[in-house]
A and B are shown apart, each in its own frame.
Chain A
Amino acid sequence: MTQRPTWQIVLRYILVLIVVGWFTFPTYWMVTMAFKPKVEWSTAHGTIYWVPQNPTLDNFETVLTEYRGRFFRANQSSALPSIRSSIIVSIGGTLFALLIGTLAAYGLSRFSTDTGELPWYIALGRLGLLILVLLPFMVLWAWLGIIRYWYGILSFTLLGIAVNQLLDKFLALFYRGPTGSLAFSILQLRMFPPMAIVIPVMIMWSAFKLIDTWYGLIAVYGVVTFPFVVWLMKSFFDEIPRELDEAAIVDGASNWGAFFKVVLPLAKGGLASTALFVFILNWSDFLIALLLTTRDWPTIPVFLNSLVSSEIGAQHGPKAALGLLAVIPPVVFGILIQRYLVRGLTFGAIKR
């Protein structure tokens, strides 16, 4: 190998520095901002403070202590309730999604021939048909004036499920091959932009009196992240040979026993990374929490948004301080499970 000219090496490092700087500067700015006193937050005093001149913990004190009316847009005067709220709903939503998602993934992996694959025209066609068939019913429900009540919503949901099932049978009359796919339907849940579904969810939640409750948020987070859990865990389960379940079953274990004693322990690496992924999604969600909480259960991102005072406007320092605090849980979680994140625990179980 020939030695590269010095200028090439230098140029390469300069490029690397630019790219790294581009991506890490916001983080740097947030971290330093958290420790800056009020005068250094902006250029109002004529200078940009690249480095905090007089580092202080005042910002942390501001967000963490109670002082009624300090932030006029917030319903709470300290960040503590929102931290509690974030922890409860993120962990709760993650556990909920993992519980049902992992079981669903195991079912799809072992007891179903459903590969999740549909030709695009069938996938699109059945979605179009579903909307077409349900639309008149929706108008009817609205005309009857029951769409706003829990029984209206519940009956319409059940109708939707029934129509969805009937569509499979209907399409099967004209098309040989897979007309419906549970795995695909689950994935389809994620195909709508969150903004499109969050308004209906808000109306439904208000009918079910779930607005501004921790369980209401957990339910939404669980459902929204459920498809990720199913598809990620399914791929992990698919990698674990079926013979392992069968061996456990022949040796006397039940299906549940084979799942909990053999398959799940082997998939714990996958479970850990899925949990981290889902937790981060829940933890950083802003939109859903903004629309579904009011007074008691705003999460950290929602509270951050309201850190504005009548005196000087946006409270950059406290925002950065809370942002810095909010980074801690995912990072700690990630470090705790990093040894499980290493793939390859299951390899060598079987010779193919």
Chain B
Amino acid sequence: MASVRLENLRKEFGSVVAVKELTLHFPDKKFAAILGPSGCGKTTTMNMIAGLETPTRGFIYFDDRCMNDVPPGKRNVGFVFQNYAIFTHMTVAENIGFGLKIRGVDEATIRREVGKIAELLELTDMLPMNAGRLSVNDMQKVALGRSMIVKPRIFLLDEPFSNLDAAFRAYMRGELKRIQREIGQTMIYVTHDQVEAMSMADYIAVMDFGVLQQFGTPDEIYNQPVNLFVANFIGSPNMNFIPCYFHSQNGQGYLVQKHGNARILLDDRRRQLLERHPGNQDLIWGVRPEHLTLHAEPSQPEYLRATVRFLEPLGPKTVVHLELGDQDTIKVIAHPSYREKTGTVQWIEINPKYLHIFDAKTGLAIR
């Protein structure tokens, strides 16, 4: 096992910059995810770690060893591709044993190791089968097995489950996490699916346009997003963003909605922070739908007045879309039995603990 350290890693394809000065440290024996929308450079980063792409600039270290000039086959990484890349002209057993065969391991050892892996992945019955005849789900298991058998120092997975059906995907997520914990494997997982990243990873690196936005634990990413992109990308339904400005009156600090008159009273720490902030007339406040509560009566003065637009009943919860002020929409997660009519006036309670404030120009969080 090994940790992976990227230093000022940059990759250009012609005039397109796929990855920009990426500096990251994936800790040893941990499960890390690279999360981002398609085209954000996450697969390119992965290919550079595996050695399939040569960085334009920058360095890749496994532990303390620079890997830039080590060919992919000698890096001892396992790579699972989104489309499995199963060798259809071989049997399942030959597929799983491929890495050992290439390394010149003797037949008996290969058979034993293949047997072990097959058992772990519940593929034993399928070993003599032609790999091309497997179901999509089993193909992905074979791909996992083929990478696992060489006992890689680092396991790289490029959206491995995105082609699986939903139930099996959930099952495999659990299995993968179990295997990772059991053997203490360093894993780096590329995905555009935040649920996958949040549910499996110890650490998440959020990328956009080839730039690292934030690196941290799922908790940090969710609760302390550093900028608008991360705040917007994580969470479903996504965070509410309301343009506002800072206003101070009688020693109290308020955030005032630009397209309406909703006001939020700030605590002293935030008031002082915003007083010193130069762009404090051009702000955005954000709060997640799950951190808002709806009330029928304005029992507290700081509740915000909003009108129900429509409901999205999702089963275990209902997403209520409301109009706040003139043109801002705000989503609130309500109890599944919530059934207010369009046009009903509701009062929104905001827990100030969960309030995020961003500079509208730079997009950075202010805290």
Contact = CB atoms under 8 A, between A and B. Distances in A.
Contacts of A251: 73, 98-99, 102, 146-147, 150
Contacts of B75: 250
A247 B102 contact: no
B52 A249 contact: yes
Interface centre among A246, A254, A257, by most B CB within 10 Å?
A: A246
Contact of B99 (A252, A349, A350): A252
A236 B89 CA distance: 15
Contacts of B355: none
Contacts of A243: 81, 83, 85
A351 B72 contact: no
B87 interface: yes
Contacts of B246: none
A259 to B, nearest CB: 13
Interface in B51-105: 51-52, 72-75, 77-79, 81, 83-89, 98-99, 102-103
Contacts of A350: 83-86
Interface centre among A252, A346, A349, by most B CB within 10 Å?
A: A252
For chain A, give the interface size range: 20 to 34
A21 interface: no
B50 interface: yes
A250 B73 contact: yes
Given A345-B88, A345-B89, A346-B88, A247 B81 contact: yes
A243 B139 CA distance: 14
Contact of B88 (A250, A261, A348): A348
A350 B83 CA distance: 5
A262 interface: yes
For chain B, give the interface size range: 20 to 34
A253 B85 contact: no
B163 A351 contact: yes
Contacts of A244: 85, 87
B273 interface: no
B136 interface: yes
Contact of B73 (A241, A249, A351): A249
Contacts of A55: none
B132 interface: yes
Interface in A232-250: 241, 243-244, 246-250
Contacts of B98: 248, 251
Interface in B24-51: 50-51
A280 B51 CA distance: 43
Contacts of B72: 246, 249-250
Interface centre among A246, A251, A346, by most B CB within 10 Å?
A: A251
A219 interface: no
A251 B156 CA distance: 12
Given A252-B99, A252-B102, A246 B85 contact: yes
A22 to B, nearest CB: 43
Interface string A321-352: 00000000000000000000000011011111
B268 to A, nearest CB: 55
B79 A246 contact: yes
A112 B81 CA distance: 22
A261 B99 CA distance: 12
Given A251-B102, A251-B150, A266 B85 contact: no
A107 interface: no
A262 B132 CA distance: 13
Nearest to B163: A351
Contacts of A257: 102
Given A345-B88, A345-B89, 10 more contacts: A246-B50, A246-B52, A248-B98, A250-B52, A251-B98, A252-B103, A253-B102, A346-B88, A348-B88, A352-B83
